[in-house]
C-alpha cells in the first residue's frame, strides 16, 4: 500500500480508494426516469441510464479522474502506474442522460451527456475533470467552514467557497500543468501530449 489512510488509500495496483464521502443515495436525477442498461427501448427519448461500475464508460471516467487526481494527492510517489479509482465515493453513481436534440439540428441520434450524481454539495459533475478538485477535497479530509453554512472548503468549480469563481477551463489547465510537472519530475515529460481535447 502506497498510502493507507486516513482519508484515502493508494494501492500497489494503482487504485485510489475513497475512505470519506459526501455522497448520498437520494441525490439522483429526478427530471426523467432512470433506466437500467437492459431496459432501454427505441420508444423512449428522454431518460437517464444507470452506468454500472464494470461498464467501460465507468472505467473511462474513473481512469480520467485518477489521471489528474493522483498527481495532486500523491505527487511524484504516483510513479508510472496508470491510476484509476477503485470506485466512486459511496453514494455516488454515474448516469448517461439521453435526450432529444433541438429541432433542426443535425443527426437523428439522441444527445448523450454523462453526469456524476451523489454529492450532497453539488447537483452533479458533468465531466471527469470537473470532479477532480472535489475528489481531492474528499481525500484531504472534506473540511468545511466552521460557520453555520458548513460549506465545503473545496476548490472545484461548484463549491467555490472562497469566491474565486474559476472557469472549468482554467481549473483543467491547472490540473494538466500539475500532471505535466510531476511527470517531468519523474523524467517522463513527453509522455502526456495526449490530453488537450478532454474538457
- Residue 65 near Zn ion by CB under 5 A: no
Residue of the chain from 27, 134, 176, 179 that contacts Zn ion (CB under 5 A): 134
- Segment lying near Zn ion (by CB under 5 A), choices 20-28, 91-99, 126-134, 167-175: 126-134
End-to-end CA separation in angstroms for the chain: 31
Closest to Zn ion by CB, 83 vs 131, is 131
**Alpha-carbon separation of residue 63 from 38, 70, 129 (angstroms):** 25, 10, 11
Q: Name the nearest CA neighbour of 18 among 69, 92, 90.
A: 90
Closest to Zn ion by CB, 139 vs 156, is 156
Q: Smallest distance from the beta carbon of 20 to Zn ion, in angstroms? A: 13
Question: How far, in Å, CA of 100 to CA of 17, rounded?
Answer: 36
Q: Smallest distance from the beta carbon of 28 to Zn ion, in angstroms? A: 18
Cell numbers 429541432 correspond to 103
Question: How far, in Å, CA of 17 to CA of 191, rounded?
Answer: 25
Q: Smallest distance from the beta carbon of 155 to Zn ion, in angstroms? A: 7
Residue of the chain from 49, 129, 156, 180 that contacts Zn ion (CB under 5 A): 156
**Alpha-carbon separation of residue 125 from 8, 43, 159 (angstroms):** 21, 28, 11
Show contacts with Zn ion in window 157-186 (CB under 5 A): 159
- Residue 70 near Zn ion by CB under 5 A: no
Residue of the chain from 10, 70, 94, 154 that contacts Zn ion (CB under 5 A): 154
- Residue 62 near Zn ion by CB under 5 A: no
- Residue 27 near Zn ion by CB under 5 A: no
Question: How far, in Å, CA of 146 to CA of 163, rounded?
Answer: 17
Q: Name the nearest CA neighbour of 89 among 34, 132, 35.
A: 132
- Segment lying near Zn ion (by CB under 5 A), choices 93-101, 142-150, 154-162, 189-197: 154-162
* Binding positions for Zn ion, rule: CB under 5 A: 134, 154, 156, 159
Amino acid at each position: 500500500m502506497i498510502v493507507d489512510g486516513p482519508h484515502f488509500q493508494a494501492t500497489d495496483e494503482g487504485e485510489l480508494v475513497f475512505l470519506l464521502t459526501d455522497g448520498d443515495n437520494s441525490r439522483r436525477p429526478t427530471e426523467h426516469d432512470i433506466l437500467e442498461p437492459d431496459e432501454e427501448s427505441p420508444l423512449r427519448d428522454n431518460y437517464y441510464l444507470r452506468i454500472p461500475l464494470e461498464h467501460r464508460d465507468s472505467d473511462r471516467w474513473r481512469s480520467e479522474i485518477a489521471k489528474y487526481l493522483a498527481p495532486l494527492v500523491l505527487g511524484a510517489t504516483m510513479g508510472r502506474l496508470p491510476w484509476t479509482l477503485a470506485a466512486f465515493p459511496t453514494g455516488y453513481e454515474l448516469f448517461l442522460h439521453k435526450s432529444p436534440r433541438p429541432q433542426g439540428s443535425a443527426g437523428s441520434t439522441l444527445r448523450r451527456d454523462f453526469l456524476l450524481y451523489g454529492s450532497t454539495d453539488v447537483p452533479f459533475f458533468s465531466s471527469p475533470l470537473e470532479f477532480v478538485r472535489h475528489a481531492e477535497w474528499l481525500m484531504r479530509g472534506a473540511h468545511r467552514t466552521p460557520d453555520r453554512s458548513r460549506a465545503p472548503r473545496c476548490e472545484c468549480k461548484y463549491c467555490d467557497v472562497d469566491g474565486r469563481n474559476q472557469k472549468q477551463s482554467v481549473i483543467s489547465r491547472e490540473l494538466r500543468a500539475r500532471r505535466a510537472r510531476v511527470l517531468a519530475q519523474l523524467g517522463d515529460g513527453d509522455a502526456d501530449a495526449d490530453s488537450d481535447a478532454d474538457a
